[in-house]
């Protein structure tokens, strides 16, 4: 039987995902076989496994920290919000359907066997399973049917570390309040408290820590400093989206990422954040595009709705103006928006933001493509190489890439929009297809669209594109031996150092032994 430890938080975004990742890395460095686990995750950032199944991106990151391949068993239930009151429900990596919050609440207890099957699969090989909770265990209106916090801890008899976020204020109230709202048996499971995201002199916390330990009868087993790490974030609570994290002290190249209302898989831009001299900004105002060197339109959970927002907000006009002289990259939903038309004959996306059904919408018109949304979701890992790209993207030609696809819909060349398929003036410069003949990438001049998530994670592809942008602008980047995979591994090691140096690891090991 695997040993187990669980990390829960006083609320969302206290840093649970990174602490779990850090623990996974520490245990792996110490020679243990480690598996992360989160029974239920709500996030729009997801990953596709080698067998074509979908799980939360945070659990994929934690698997990388542990040095193991991501598996759907690490996240058997994934909820992807489609609007403010409902989500797409994914069980064991496959879509079950869309449910309202109330319907899912009534349904989720039926998923306990799926949760335990997944957990038991990990027990077959893991020495240690590190479980992540969700939100707070003290949501007293939801506790009766909990399957992700104390409900999960009870299912597998896990000791719990409770984490509070001092950066958002009120950390002592967070921790003590959470303990007070737990049932007696739940409170007994909490073996240690962690104060996360601390800035300043730790000695200033000493008196508060003494008081909270006296009042809560639970030891504080670590105060973790606020650190900037280039590691995938779980969801839209990421401070990257609010531009609170400056990715470069000296900005030579400026990249504007459109902050769509239903943005998903924004981790696709992470490689650019790790390049010296590059500033990545998430923007939702058309004026913020001005002065950029590259615009990226990321993925979307509701492409038609977000395209409607682009038009109404003025972002469409701003992007079209920018594209006359500047490069624009679209990924997945952003790629679909670049076309002439998006059709939804099956009602896949169901509703626009104002609640009115839209069966089609005109796209940005940047590429001569047409997309038809389909109820069946395409999920696959994709391995290919760039063909002969032109212009700003030329340096990527011939380079191999590995990524993954998650999308509802198929994209084709819009032949009605092209008078002569072979006309150089009208046809795209490049159309790449997979082994089944499906389009995965289209380039035309400054415009590049692709279905492949993680396409810039490979080697130095992001750096090559930034070098081309710098050359066009007439600036010189600081010389850098750039390999994004190596950078990620170094960041995971830094995360492990932070955890090892700031948590009482002897105490942590005593819990799993």
Q: Catalytic: which of 24, 65, 407, 453?
A: 453
Active site residue 407: no
CB of 270 closer than 8 Å to CB of 230: yes
Which DSSP helix (H) or strand (E) runs through 365? Answer: none
Query: Helices in 431-483 by DSSP H: which ranges?
Result: 461-473
Residue 494: count other Cβ atoms within 10 Å of its Cβ: 17
Distance CA 91, CA 94 (A): 5
Place of tokens 């959970």: 301
**Secondary structure class of 213 (helix, strand, coil):** helix
Distance CA 472, CA 390 (A): 14
Q: Catalytic: which of 24, 65, 332, 407?
A: 332
Relative to beta strand 400-413, strand 369-385 is antiparallel
Phi/psi region, residue 265 (left: phi>0; alpha: psi -120 to 50; beta: rest), is: left
Relative to beta strand 263-264, strand 299-300 is antiparallel
Distance CA 58, CA 355 (A): 31
Strands lying side by side in the sheet with 430-433:
278-283, 253-258, 294-297, 328-331, 447-450, 439-444, 430-433
Classify each residue of 369-396 as buried b or exposed e, where b means 16 or more C-beta atoms within 10 Å of its C-beta. Answer: bbbbbbeebebbbbebebeebeebbebb
Distance CA 110, CA 101 (A): 15
Active site residue 453: yes
How buried is 162 (Cβ within 10 angstroms: 0-12 exposed, 13-18 middle, 19+ buried)? buried
Query: Helices in 217-357 by DSSP H: which ranges?
Result: 270-273, 303-313, 315-323, 333-337
Phi and psi dihedrals of 225, rounded to 5? Answer: -70, 160
Distance CA 440, CA 445 (A): 17
Residues belonging to the active site? 332, 453
């Amino acid at each position: 039987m695997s040993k187990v430890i669980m990390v829960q938080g006083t609320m969302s975004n206290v840093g649970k995902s990174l602490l779990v990742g850090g623990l996974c890395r520490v245990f792996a460095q110490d020679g243990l076989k480690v598996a992360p686990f989160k029974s239920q995750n709500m996030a729009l950032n997801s990953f596709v496994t080698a067998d074509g199944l979908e799980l939360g991106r945070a659990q994929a990151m934690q698997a990388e920290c542990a040095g193991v391949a991501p598996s759907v068993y690490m996240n058997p239930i994934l909820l992807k919000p489609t609007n403010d009151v409902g989500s797409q429900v994914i069980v064991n990596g496959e879509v079950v359907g869309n449910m309202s919050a109330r319907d899912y609440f009534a349904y989720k207890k039926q998923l306990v066997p799926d949760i335990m099957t997944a957990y038991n699969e990990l027990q077959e090989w893991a020495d240690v399973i590190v479980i992540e909770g969700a939100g707070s265990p003290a949501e007293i209106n939801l506790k009766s049917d909990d399957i992700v916090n104390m409900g999960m801890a009870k299912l597998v008899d896990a000791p719990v570390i409770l984490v509070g976020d001092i950066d958002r204020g009120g950390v002592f109230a967070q921790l003590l309040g959470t303990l007070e709202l737990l049932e007696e048996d739940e409170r007994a499971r909490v073996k240690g408290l962690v104060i996360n995201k601390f800035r300043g002199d730790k000695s200033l916390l000493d008196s508060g820590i003494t008081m909270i330990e006296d009042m809560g009868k639970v030891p504080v087993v670590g105060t973790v400093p606020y650190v900037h790490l280039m590691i995938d974030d779980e969801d839209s609570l990421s401070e990257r989206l609010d531009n609170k994290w400056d990715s470069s002290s000296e900005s030579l190249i400026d990249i504007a990422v459109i902050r769509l209302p239903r943005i998903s898989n924004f981790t696709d831009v992470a490689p650019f954040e790790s390049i010296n001299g590059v500033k990545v900004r998430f923007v939702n105002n058309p004026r913020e595009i001005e002065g950029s060197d590259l615009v990226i339109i990321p993925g979307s959970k509701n492409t038609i709705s977000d395209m409607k927002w682009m038009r109404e907000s003025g972002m469409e006009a701003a992007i079209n103006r920018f594209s006359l002289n500047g490069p624009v990259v679209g990924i997945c939903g952003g790629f679909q928006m670049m076309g002439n038309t998006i059709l939804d004959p099956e009602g896949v996306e169901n509703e626009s933001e104002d609640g009115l059904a839209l069966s089609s919408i005109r796209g940005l018109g940047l590429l001569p493509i047409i997309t038809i949304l389909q109820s069946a979701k395409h999920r696959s890992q994709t391995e290919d190489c760039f063909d002969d790209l032109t212009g700003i993207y030329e340096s990527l030609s011939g380079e191999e890439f590995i990524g993954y696809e998650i999308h509802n819909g198929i994209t084709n060349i819009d032949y009605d929009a092209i008078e002569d398929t072979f006309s150089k003036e009208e046809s795209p410069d490049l159309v790449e297809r997979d082994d089944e003949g499906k389009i995965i990438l289209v380039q035309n001049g400054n415009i590049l669209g692709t279905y492949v998530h993680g396409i810039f994670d490979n080697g130095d592809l992001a750096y090559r594109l930034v070098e081309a942008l710098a050359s066009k602008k007439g600036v010189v980047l600081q010389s850098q031996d750039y390999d994004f995979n190596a950078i990620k591994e170094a960041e995971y090691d830094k995360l492990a150092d932070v955890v090892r140096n700031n948590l009482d690891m002897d105490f942590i090991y005593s819990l799993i032994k």
